[in-house]
Structure 1
Amino acid sequence: MKISVDISMYPLNEDYCQPIIDFIEAMEEQPKVSVQRNSMSTHIYGEFADVMRAMSSEIEQVLEKLPTTVFVIKLIGTDREKVNYRGCE
């Protein structure tokens, strides 16, 4: 099953930019997932097992280094990567 994930990362420390960039770059290196950067969050697409495996691995590494980091994750059970939105009409 394909899924789409919207994930935001909030390291609760003064040096918050680099950990976010490192996390996104690590996710982009994961096989079998597609990552799109946005200004407010990051979108991850792929098969459920692949996406969850990649996120689990990378989130665990972040929390080991920065245990006060907050992740906000939204999941939808379909591939929204190629959907074009024209807004509400």
Structure 2
Amino acid sequence: MQTHSPSTLDDIFALLTHQTHLLWSHPEQASAIAPLMLWGPPGVGKSTVVRSVAEAQGVGFLDIRLAQREPVDLRGLPVPREDAVEWLL
């Protein structure tokens, strides 16, 4: 697994811009594009920089705080259907 530790806000912005450009221009290749994780204490600007990248590229931004969500909020409710499970959102 490749890791990259950008050292400036400009580095982070450039990396996120590149990643989102790849995803939007080649959605069929999304499974081949490595995910990114921004990590840091509250208040350092993780959501702000992601929102800025979204605005710069003209795409929507939905801020979901996983610490304030339950798994059912993201996956929906499992409902058995014959030989499968359907997830109701």
The structure with higher relative contact order (CA 8 Å, sep 6+) is: 1
The structure carrying a bigger helix percent of its residues is 2
TM-score (norm 1): 0.29
Report the structure, 1 or 2, having the larger strand content: 1
Larger Rg: 2
